[in-house]
Amino acid sequence: MDEPAGTAPPPLPALRGPWWRDTTVYHVYPRSFADGNGDGVGDLPGVIAHLDYLEHLGVETLWLSPFFRSPQADFGYDITDHTDVDPSHGSLADFVHLIDEVHRRGMKLVLDTVLNHTSIEHPWFTASRSGRDDPKRDWYIWRDGQRADGRGRPNNWRNMLGGRGWHHDAGTDQWYWASFLPFQPDLNWRNPDVKAAMLGVVRHWLDLGVDGLRLDVFNAIFKDASFADNPRSLRPLPTGSNPEGFFQRPLHTLDHRDTFALARELRGIVDAYDPPRFVVGEVMGASGVLREYVGAAGEGLHLVFMFDTMGTRFSADGFRRLLADAESAFPAPLQPTWVFSNHDRPRAMLRLGDDPRKAKLLAMLQLTVRGVPFIYYGEEIGLSHVEIPAELGLDPIAARFRWVPRWLARRLRGRGILLNRDECRLPMPWTAAKHAGFSRDDVVPWLPLDPRSGTINVAAQDADPASLLATYRRLLRLRRAHPALHRGAMELSSTGQSAAVLAYRRVDDSESAHVMLNMSDATVDVELPVGVHALHSTIGPCVEVTTGRRRLAPYEGIISLSTDAGPRPAAAAGTRPLR
Ligand code: GLC
């Protein structure tokens, strides 16, 4: 019953809701995916060259981190032209080719949009800082210093990295605000011209046929117009579920009510497009705050990231709590998101101790729970983490935190904070060639390769039906083929199973999928539900089964299918219609 290697995924079944509710997203960090033009840096032609691979993998939507014009001080998150392609990544013609090729395959394309700030080299900022009377002055956030001599920051606000976010401009003797790094000045969204220009950027890409946008640091867009000090706090470090940290509460700098209003406004803009598009917000906070971005009746952002996924201990209990929380914060037809790695955080494989059994189990969880999965490039082959000392880092964060001793950097990494993000952006290993097929043998990639690339690469796993890559392919096909798995309601169950087993059921009109994940290193016995007929395992091929007892190996996950759906979980059955 397994798909033979090499077959194309089945056509997408007709879905009841908009496509984005049920899609699977693959996140490409363009600099690190594939070097198409031979300069050691990944680019759009490199992505195009690997679309067959992605189609065969079975992912439905691609999200590309920024490839817009940029001095590359933050590798594209510092933009000088939001509507042009940086020459290091290709050209606008390459972009048009890319979107055509993606759509020709029935896939979708999502771009990263940085609405909060620009590069310090953006012509808008150059004009803005040229004089207090410049027409672009008010496009950024400028304030006087607190002291009579102009010195002394305007208030106590800290940026998202814990530093002081105000930067003095000697030429005009005022301070500008930057939520992230000093070379990324924040735009002043309270200026209607700025708002119009940035919403114009949104429309520009949607008009070109882009299917969705990922909104960078969306929670920072509006700052309080009072410029009052943020309250003090005892919390040293922020976390995914609580942005309070660096000894202050970001009351006036994050999650402003005007940002929630902007979420609703954006929803209106995006929903006016046909076929439907979506936006996913990079926001942080407890599930209540995340839900506010989506809106009480789903009238805000279509999706938001849930970063608690990356801080959850690998245990049935930990994930049970996470799933219960996601189900209650985002009841159907709202959708949670499932992300275990990205270009800012330690890769999941590090947390999993490089154990492929655990990686297969996590993949089964990610691709069978209710919600939209975001797979980070390389995750499907178990691309792992390599420690790169901060002094060798190209990442501007590494430059900033070079003074942090290595033992502390390691400890922070264990807590999900990466001081050198190069570590999670290593070149994609395609083959066992000198530069792993990422770039030509005579061209050195922009970042070092994972030393294990000789064995951990796409070509090696392609040929191995027991590989992590093969598991991802099987799971993605299974998810696509079974409505219960891509659009079914979800019910967490614990009845009769060992505490080490995370068990849940996905239910659609005509079928049920029962998922059981043994999250321990011990063998456990589980009772298969009545009426199941086929069983997929993270170890071994699909088999016919009948009801009964099944032994799960350490870290084995299984999905068993039954055609009798049984009663639908109450939470989904009684949900009032949302947009
Ligand atoms: C987001 C991006 C990160 C970038 C930052 C500033 O957090 O994910 O990579 O450095 O915003 O744009």
Distance 65 CA to ligand 1 centre (A): 10
| Length in residues, the chain | 579
> What is the position in ligand 1's atom list of the atom closest to the CA of 114?
12
Establish whether the linkage from the previous residue to 333 is cis, with ω within 30° of 0: yes
> What is the per-residue pLDDT across 500-520, written as a single tens digit (0 to 9) for each?
999 999 999 889 999 999 999
Catalytic residues: 216, 282
Testing ligand 1's pocket by substitution, the residue of 31, 74, 339 carrying the most ligand atoms inside 8 A of its CB is: 74
Contact 523, 552 (CB under 8 A): yes
Measured CA to CA, the distance from residue 211 to residue 226 in angstroms comes to: 37
Nearest-CA neighbor of 187 among 154, 141, 226, 224?
141
Residue nearest to atom 2 of ligand 1 (CA): 216
Q: Tell me: pLDDT of 488 over 70.
A: yes
Q: Is the CB of 395 under 6 A from ligand 1?
A: no
pTM beyond 0.85: yes
Instruction: Give the pLDDT band of residue 369 (cuts 50, 70, 90).
Output: very high
Q: Strand pairing of 501-507 and 489-493? A: antiparallel
Distance 217 CA to ligand 1 centre (A): 7
Mean pLDDT of 7-23: 68
C-beta 339 within 6 A of ligand 1: no
Q: Is the CB of 400 under 6 A from ligand 1?
A: no
Q: What is the pLDDT of residue 533?
A: 86
What is the band of 531 on the pLDDT scale with cuts at 50, 70, 90?
confident
pLDDT of the residue at 545: 80
452: pLDDT strictly greater than 60 = yes
Over 50: is that where the pLDDT of 575 sits?
A: no
Six token digits for residue 429: 């290993």
Task: Answer yes or no: is pLDDT of 6 > 80.
Answer: no
Percent of the chain with pLDDT over 70: 94
Q: Give the pLDDT of residue 325.
A: 95
Centroid of ligand 1 to alpha carbon of 181 (angstroms): 10
Distance from C-alpha of 95 to C-alpha of 68, rounded to nearest angstrom: 11
**Is 78 close to ligand 1, i.e. is its CB under 6 Å away?**
no
List, for residues 534-549, the tens digit of each pLDDT value.
Answer: 889 999 877 878 778 8
Residue 390, token pair as written in the block: 């901060």
Query: Of the segments 8-22, 121-135, 534-548, which one has the largest average pLDDT value?
Result: 121-135
Q: Which sign does the torsion angle of CA 422, 423, 424, 426 carry?
A: positive
At 8 the pLDDT is 55
Q: What is d(CA 366, CA 373) in angstroms, rounded to the nearest whole number?
A: 6
Predicted confidence at residue 494, as pLDDT, reads 67
Distance of alpha carbon 210 from alpha carbon 110, whole angstroms: 6
Res. 395: pLDDT tops 80: yes
* pLDDT tens, residue by residue, 81-94: 999 999 999 999 99
Q: Judge if the beta carbon of residue 114 lies within 6 A of ligand 1.
A: yes
* 217, 304, 420: residue to mutate for ligand 1 pocket, most atoms within 8 A of CB: 217
Is the predicted pLDDT of residue 495 greater than 70, yes or no?
no
pLDDT digits (tens, 9 = 90+) for 154-207: 999 999 999 999 999 999 999 999 999 999 999 999 999 999 999 999 999 999
pLDDT beyond 60 at 370: yes
Average pLDDT over residues 305-334: 94
Residue 316's closest CA among 525, 538, 517? 517
Categorize the per-residue pLDDT at 567 as very low, low, confident or very high, splitting at 50, 70 and 90: low
Whether the CB-CB separation of 360 and 471 falls below 8 Å is answered with: yes
As a whole number of angstroms, the distance between CA 506 and CA 571 comes to: 12
Structural domains present in the chain? 19-118+192-222+260-473 (3.20.20.80)
State residue 283 phi and psi, 5-degree precision: -135, 160
Please give the pLDDT value at position 19.
96
* Extended beta strands in 342-477, E state: 372-376
Residue nearest atom 12 in ligand 1 by C-alpha distance: 77
Q: Are residues 288 and 260 in contact, defined by beta-carbon separation less than 8 angstroms? A: no
Phi–psi pair at 481, nearest 5 degrees:
-75, -25
Q: Do 233 and 248 touch, CB atoms closer than 8 A?
A: yes
User: What is the C-alpha separation between 289 and 287, in angstroms, rounded?
Assistant: 5
Share of the chain above pLDDT 90, in %: 86
| C-alpha 271 chain-centroid distance | 22
Our answer on whether the CB atom of 217 is closer than 6 Å to any ligand 1 atom is yes
Residue 415's CB is within 10 A of a number of other CB atoms, namely: 10
Q: What is the mean pLDDT of the chain?
A: 93
